[in-house]
Chain A
Amino acid sequence: MLKDFFRTFSSMIELEFRRLKHDRTEIYSRAVQPILWLAVYGPIMGSIRAIPTGNIPYTDFITPGVLIQSTTFISIFYGLTIVWERESGILKKLLVTPAPRYATVIGRAMASGIRAIFQTFIIILVALIIGVKFILNPFYFVLALVIIFFSSGGFAAISILVASFMKTRERFMGIGQALTMPLFFASNALYPVTMMPKALQYFATINPMSYVVDAVRSLIISGDLTNLWLDIVAIAIFNIIMFTLASVNFKKIIE
């Protein structure tokens, strides 16, 4: 059972590595937008000091937010590409292998984490060049990568779930935006939650992206780990719910 799961899971991850080995243009082109946030928006907003971020420079404050927005975007689109595979025979064939179906779904979702990690390296490199100061603790850094990897799987599972209700692939782009943007703006990515209107604050507390941003921010920028456990538990619950829903609904994709 568990062996079957890991076998399928690791095959899906390996597939993604091999794809990236052959072609990384998507990763690079998707890095343009977050770089603009960090290089243009960050310094401008920071210079007018409109947003209280304690003793952390504004660009440093938003670096984890911009990073997570960008990796989430990648994951959500990655999950949605499953509607393409539905039209090809790839999913049909995978479902006829002895691989457990939930392992196929979770493996597919987690494979997006590989892309997310690549993206993370690019953005952190750019942030370093811009002058963002990171906490130099290898253990914290690795833990942050693990959190980014796992939460990407959860976000990809959201979009696999959405894809199982989609009839055509035409609305694909719009749906990707419609999922990501609210998560981004109603989170602590660009400003502290306390600055938001009450209704949005409420949404931010159930917004998984807030927890991911908070965890990563505490590990690589602020070093304040008081909420880390809460964040990790919230992310774990989010992933379990999403993996379950996506697996249960997966049959709909091929019916």
Chain B
Amino acid sequence: MEKAVDVRDVVKIFNKNFRALDGVSLEIESGSIFALLGPNGAGKTTLMRILTTQIGPSSGHAYVFGLDTVKEGSQVRKLISYVPQEMSVWTDISGYENLLIYSKIYGIPKEERNNIINGVLESMGLHDVSNRLVKTYSGGMIRRLEIACALLVRPKILFLDEPTIGLDPSARKVVWEKLKMFKKDYGTTIFFNTHYMDEAEIYSDLIAIINRGKIVTIGTSEELKHSVGGEILHFILSENGLHEDVLRELEGIEGIKDVVVSNSDVTFVVNDAEMILPHIMTFFNKKNIFVRRVSITKPTLDDVFLKYAGTRIDVSGRLSEVTHVRRMIRRG
């Protein structure tokens, strides 16, 4: 099966000495949803601009459905759709008119235009507002209109650069519901950039984490979280301390990697918390040890990021970028 995206040792150098991408390699199966997760300035947009044929790599190669993005750029452009990070619709005309202009640029035959436009308006939930000027749209509506533009041609692969940046949680959810529906109907491959960990985790089949121009790890969100170590089971008991023998027996239970006791708190590091919990409960019951409270903590993608990149995804940078994008959307 041909790979939807195949990136080999791509390096991109800006201004002669700044390595925005520092040897990126990547393969994505056709029909999957792929998330490129990383903080601000990691190189996500740069990689997407190379894949969408806007700029060429300084060295290395990138292929989309087997086509070289540099040598066969015009063929690549026939297969893909793209929603840039910044606002990309004309605000001084209506939503319908935006779609009409794009459908003409894409060369959609006259007889089909109206049907297709109404179809994407419907699937992005914009039918009622299609004749309003885009100026009057909310940020979420603008994003959905941009995605609608990208869906006019039923692309084989859809590139989304930070599709929900600056949107509130409910608007984000709507955008993703619409996208998932479209993907279900047409089997489109989706490649999206994000710095929201939850978004990568919930909506993608495969996640690559990028930091400072390098892909630090790649896998499904389960695999990535497993790679961090184990899950944490935390018990609070009604009595202080555990007997030495009890502790040794606990450590013998299969699946328990580590036990730490401090006063009435007992913390276990385990592979699979839900699986091991009943065993531990039964064990405490048999020993007549009363449990007051149990909690399970699972590693997050933030922990994954911390492990591979050595820092957390910066929260403050995130907020300022959001307000920046908001301003852009308002300004048009």
Interface of A toward B, CB cutoff 8 Å: 3-4, 7-8, 10-11, 14-15, 18-19, 22-23, 87-90, 92-99, 254-255
Contacts and interface: CB of A to CB of B under 8 A. Distances in A.
A14 B104 CA distance: 10
Contacts of A94: 105
Contacts, number: 78
B83 interface: yes
B54 A92 contact: yes
Residue among B81, B105, B107 with max Cβ neighbours from chain A (10 Å): B105
Nearest to B49: A92
B90 A90 contact: yes
B84 A98 contact: no
Contact of A22 (B77, B93, B105): B93
Contacts of B88: 88-90, 92-93
B83 A93 contact: yes
A3 B89 CA distance: 24
Nearest to A99: B105
A96 B93 contact: no
B97 interface: yes
A71 B215 CA distance: 52
A250 to B, nearest CB: 12
Contacts of B78: 98
Interface residues of B, number: 34
A28 to B, nearest CB: 16
Nearest to B75: A98
A10 B101 CA distance: 9
A123 to B, nearest CB: 24
A96 B80 contact: yes
B90 A95 contact: no
B52 interface: yes
Given A97-B105, A255-B55, A89 B85 contact: yes
B237 interface: no
Contacts of A97: 77, 102, 105-106
A20 B78 CA distance: 31
14 contacts: A7-B104, A11-B105, A15-B90, A19-B90, A19-B93, A22-B133, A87-B328, A88-B332, A89-B88, A89-B146, A90-B90, A93-B82, A96-B80, A97-B77
Interface in B33-90: 49, 52-55, 74, 77-78, 80-90
Contacts of B53: 95-96
For the complex of A and B, list the 9 residue pairs with the smallest distance between their C-beta atoms, beginning with the closest.
A89-B84, A89-B88, A89-B86, A11-B104, A93-B88, A96-B82, A92-B84, A96-B52, A11-B105
B92 A23 contact: yes
A254 B88 CA distance: 14
Contacts of B85: 89
A140 B118 CA distance: 44
Contact of B101 (A14, A89, A96): A14
A23 B104 CA distance: 22
A98 B82 contact: no
Given A3-B107, A92-B82, 8 more contacts: A10-B104, A19-B93, A22-B92, A87-B86, A88-B328, A93-B149, A96-B54, A97-B102
A10 B104 CA distance: 9
B218 to A, nearest CB: 25
A212 B93 CA distance: 32
Residue among B87, B101, B104 with max Cβ neighbours from chain A (10 Å): B104
Contacts of A254: 54-55
B240 to A, nearest CB: 61
A98 B54 CA distance: 12
A87 B85 CA distance: 11
Nearest to B77: A98
B105 A7 contact: yes
A198 B107 CA distance: 53
Interface string B310-329: 00000000000000000010
A93 B84 contact: yes
A88 B82 CA distance: 14
Residue among A8, A90, A96 with max Cβ neighbours from chain B (10 Å): A96
A19 B106 contact: no
A167 to B, nearest CB: 12
A68 to B, nearest CB: 27
A96 B92 contact: no
Nearest to A10: B104
A156 to B, nearest CB: 17
Contacts of B101: 11, 14-15, 18
B203 to A, nearest CB: 21
Contacts of A23: 92
A18 B104 CA distance: 14
Contacts of B54: 92, 95-96, 254
Contacts of B146: 89
Given A97-B105, A98-B74, A89 B133 contact: no
Contacts of A8: 105
Nearest to A103: B105
A181 to B, nearest CB: 28
